[in-house]
Amino acid sequence: MTDSTIAAPAKRRGVPMWAQIIIWVVLLGLLAMVAVALRRTQQGTVQPGDKIPDFAMPLFTGYGMNGGQQVKLSDLRGKVVIVNFWASWCKPCEQEAADLRTAWDSYKDTGKVVFVGVDYVDTEPEARAYLEKFGIQYSNGPDLGTKVSQLFRIKGVPETYFIDQQGVLRRVQVGPFTSVDDIKAVIDPMLR
Amino acid sequence: MTRSRFLLVVLGLSALMALCLPAQRAFAQKPTPSDDEVNRIAHQLYCPVCENTPLDVCPTEACRQWRDLIRQQLSQGWTEDQIKQYFADQYGARVLAEPPRTGMNWLVYILPPLVIVAGAFLLLRAMHNWTKPAAQSPAPGQEEPSDEYVARLEEELKKRS
């Protein structure tokens, strides 16, 4: 009989295994990065009950604390700390500025309460003009690199965070306060 | 003395007096940066508050203040890199239109061209595979037998013909 004349089927050349592995590893790595970023953006602001990580922040000249030009949260243990995020371009911030100043005036001599203003993405001349306009004298400083606002995961300004003597967040105020009494209503129970 | 001569003398004395006055130093005026110069830098920055809005086209009051800040810094002799670094230090690297080439940011520059090159390689490889079988297919009238029986039958027929 004759030899088989059937031609052997041509070898199918696909993507080499090593290339497939690399492609899948890169794809999975990218997906992981996207997942982490999405999870971070969908996280809300820090919630009551959360312990606030320590942070340090520079202060405007003339708005220092205890003679220093920097404030560190861990140095304020044992006191109620009110962290207020604001900006000179923020109109709603102006609604509560005078009330915050008044509240500070009523607590500053107790030594048990500290107000810290965090100026969010602002320019220093406008920030100073804002502080002078409302007669605010408690410690204020710029949020350089938006590090502090990212720590609190704020969604906008104004936002106010009330931290107790152990460094635990007790209350979040999103938007401006409407009166001094509202501010005191949050602080007074924390002092008991 | 005629009138014309008198006038000439007065003019001459006036000119002499003007020459004798001490020369005042002329100060070059500091050039105010133009809008184009400011926007050229603002275009490389993003509004720290409004998402995805370049600073040169952002209409808010805050953005106007930041553009004024750029103008002030330019008039003080700051370079473009110094201004951009200032904004990055103040508001975070996210305000830069071009991410700094540090840390994980390198992926932004490396991955897209890598993906394009890899995709082109795979496409060329696939196209090569598509065309190869067609070049190897037998000429009409000389179809390869579909099974062994047919191949043997054709071989026998060829012998007898």
Q: How would you label B125-135 residue by residue, b for 16+ Cβ within 10 Å and e otherwise? A: eeeeeeeeeee
Q: What is the DSSP letter of B98?
A: S
| Across A39-64, average pLDDT | 90
**Hey, where are the domains in chain B?**
35-103
pLDDT of residue A102: 97
Instruction: Kindly state whether B136 is in contact with chain A, defined as any CB-CB distance less than 8 angstroms.
Output: yes
Among the CATH numbers 2.40.50.140, 3.30.365.10, 1.10.8.640, 3.90.1200.10, which is that of B35-103? 1.10.8.640
Taking the whole predicted model, whether its pTM rises above 0.80 is answered as: no
pLDDT of residue A70: 95
Higher pLDDT, A8 or A75: A75
SS3 content of chain B, % helix, strand, coil (to 5): 65, 0, 35
- In this predicted structure, the answer to whether residue A24 has a pLDDT above a threshold of 70 is yes
First vs last Cα of chain A: how many Å apart?
107
Q: Give me the phi and psi of B133, to 5 degrees please.
A: -60, -40
- In this predicted structure, the answer to whether residue A69 has a pLDDT above a threshold of 60 is yes
Min Cα separation A6/chain B (Å):
7
Min Cα separation B130/chain A (Å):
11
Average pLDDT taken over every residue of chain A: 90
| Across A2-30, average pLDDT | 71
Q: Taking CB atoms and an 8 Å cutoff, what residues of chain A touch B91?
A: 121, 145-146
- In this predicted structure, the answer to whether residue A4 has a pLDDT above a threshold of 70 is no
**C-alpha torsion sign, points A65, A70, A71, A72:** negative
- Tens digit of pLDDT for each residue in A74-127? 999 999 999 999 999 999 999 999 999 999 999 999 999 999 999 999 999 999
Min Cα separation A144/chain B (Å):
5
pLDDT of residue B21: 59
Q: What is the DSSP letter of B58?
A: -
pLDDT of residue A63: 95
Cβ contact (<8 Å) for A146 and B92?
A: yes
Q: Taking CB atoms and an 8 Å cutoff, what residues of chain A touch B92?
A: 145-147, 150
Instruction: Kindly state whether A23 is in contact with chain B, defined as any CB-CB distance less than 8 angstroms.
Output: yes
Instruction: Kindly state whether B61 is in contact with chain A, defined as any CB-CB distance less than 8 angstroms.
Output: yes
Tokens for A20, please give them. Answer: 């497939």
Higher pLDDT, A147 or B4: A147
Instruction: Kindly state whether A4 is in contact with chain B, defined as any CB-CB distance less than 8 angstroms.
Output: yes
Give the pLDDT of chain B (161 residues) as one tens digit per residue.
577 787 787 777 777 776 655 555 544 555 789 999 999 999 999 998 887 899 999 998 889 999 999 999 999 999 999 999 999 999 988 899 988 888 878 888 888 888 899 889 888 888 888 887 555 555 555 555 568 889 999 999 998 87
Cβ contact (<8 Å) for B148 and A87?
A: no
| Across A64-70, average pLDDT | 91
Cβ contact (<8 Å) for B90 and A142?
A: yes
User: Locate tokens 């700051």: which residue?
Assistant: B78
Instruction: Kindly state whether B110 is in contact with chain A, defined as any CB-CB distance less than 8 angstroms.
Output: no
- In this predicted structure, the answer to whether residue A12 has a pLDDT above a threshold of 70 is no
Instruction: Kindly state whether B49 is in contact with chain A, defined as any CB-CB distance less than 8 angstroms.
Output: yes
- In this predicted structure, the answer to whether residue A3 has a pLDDT above a threshold of 80 is no
- Tens digit of pLDDT for each residue in A132-143? 999 999 999 999
| Across A53-57, average pLDDT | 95
Annotation: CATH topology of A56-191: Glutaredoxin (3.40.30)
Instruction: Return the residue in A22, A91, A122 with the most chain B beta carbons within 10 A, the one to mutate for interface testing.
Output: A122
pLDDT of residue A147: 94
Instruction: Return the residue in A89, A93, A120, A149 with the most chain B beta carbons within 10 A, the one to mutate for interface testing.
Output: A89
- In this predicted structure, the answer to whether residue A8 has a pLDDT above a threshold of 60 is no
pLDDT of residue A183: 97
DSSP state letters, chain A = -PPP-PPPPPPP----HHHHHHHHHHHHHHHHHHHHHHHHHH--S--TTPBPPP-EEE--TT--BTTBSEEEGGGGTTSEEEEEEE-TT-HHHHHHHHHHHHHHHHHGGGSSEEEEEEE-S--HHHHHHHHHHTT--SEEEE-GGGHHHHHHT--SSSEEEEE-TTSBEEEEEES--S-HHHHHHHHHHHH-
Banded pLDDT at A148 (limits 50, 70, 90): very high
Higher pLDDT, B32 or A171: A171
- In this predicted structure, the answer to whether residue A15 has a pLDDT above a threshold of 80 is no
